[in-house]
Structure 1
Amino acid sequence: MAEQLKADLFLDLKGLLCPLPIVKLSQAIKDLPVGAIIEGVATDPGVMADVPAWAKASGQELISIEQQGKEYRFLIKKVK
């Protein structure tokens, strides 16, 4: 993961199942300024498909997404 980037907000989405990780992400990004970075960690493997699809559909930038053991971590940058 891009360790040099500092997240403005950390979302702990562990234990949440689809669609809750995306719902929480959508709600959280509304309150952030353009350029802000959200780091999220989830345990639902569905986020590996859902987060990139949401980023594309919502016009946000997916910086990275990766699996680390049983967790899935992602970085999203708010661009609009």
Structure 2
Amino acid sequence: LEEYALTIAKKMKYINVGTIEFLVDENEGIYFLEMNTRLQVEHGVTEGITGIDLVEWQFRITFGEILPIRPHHVE
């Protein structure tokens, strides 16, 4: 799913925080659902798990800063 999400973001030339959502069926079929170019209400869960302040990162990206880690380094 990460590869699909990154492919979508790259094709759209999207360079900020957001979410790309998929549905997965019982046969592991993957279906694109939607892309949100904003933080979702659940971003607090992501911040708690990763220790990353996503709002701060949105501002850093807006001001052209290079983030200290890449998406594939987030666990």
Shared fold (TM-score, shorter chain, > 0.5): no
- Shorter-chain TM-score range: under 0.3
TM-score normalised by L of structure 2: 0.28
Q: Could you say which structure has the larger radius of gyration?
A: 2
| Higher helix fraction (1 or 2) | 2
Structure richer in strand, relative to its length: 1
